[in-house]
Amino acid sequence: MNKKGFTLIELLTVIVVLAAISLVVIPSVNSSLNKSNEQAYDAQISSIENAAKSWLADNISEIPDNGEEHVLTLGELQDGNYIDKNLENPKTKSPFSRDTKIIIRNVNESYIYRVIES
């Protein structure tokens, strides 16, 4: 009698091996995805800072004096076409709020840009 098929032991062995592989692979894939999202977020923040630099170059009268700061919103940058209106936060998968603040601080004629999400 020639029966073709797998025994219960063979099927259970395959399931155990697949479970062991998934226990090793899934955490590393999640770690890679989180790292990728973090890098994408940093790139978006850098993009916002670059847009603020362009805005400041076009609005010289708004340059803060030494030791002072100017607060700008993402909405102002979007309305001035300095940055995409559909800018998405990779961490939350939703658009950045238009109320996100960009603080431009003048420290000895060197400008520091800081993005603060609302």
Q: Is residue 3 part of a domain?
A: no
Cα dihedral 48, 52, 58, 60, rounded to 10, equals: 180
Domain that holds residue 45: 10-116
Residue 107's pLDDT is what? 94
pLDDT 10s digit of each residue in the chain, 118 long? 567 788 899 999 999 999 999 999 999 999 999 999 999 999 999 999 999 999 999 999 999 999 999 999 999 999 999 999 999 999 999 999 999 999 999 999 899 999 999 7
Q: Is residue 107 part of a domain?
A: yes
Say how many domains are in the chain.
1
Residues listed for the chain: 118
Cβ neighbours for 24, distance < 8 A, ≥ 6 positions apart:
none
Q: Is residue 4 part of a domain?
A: no
Q: pTM of this prediction?
A: 0.78
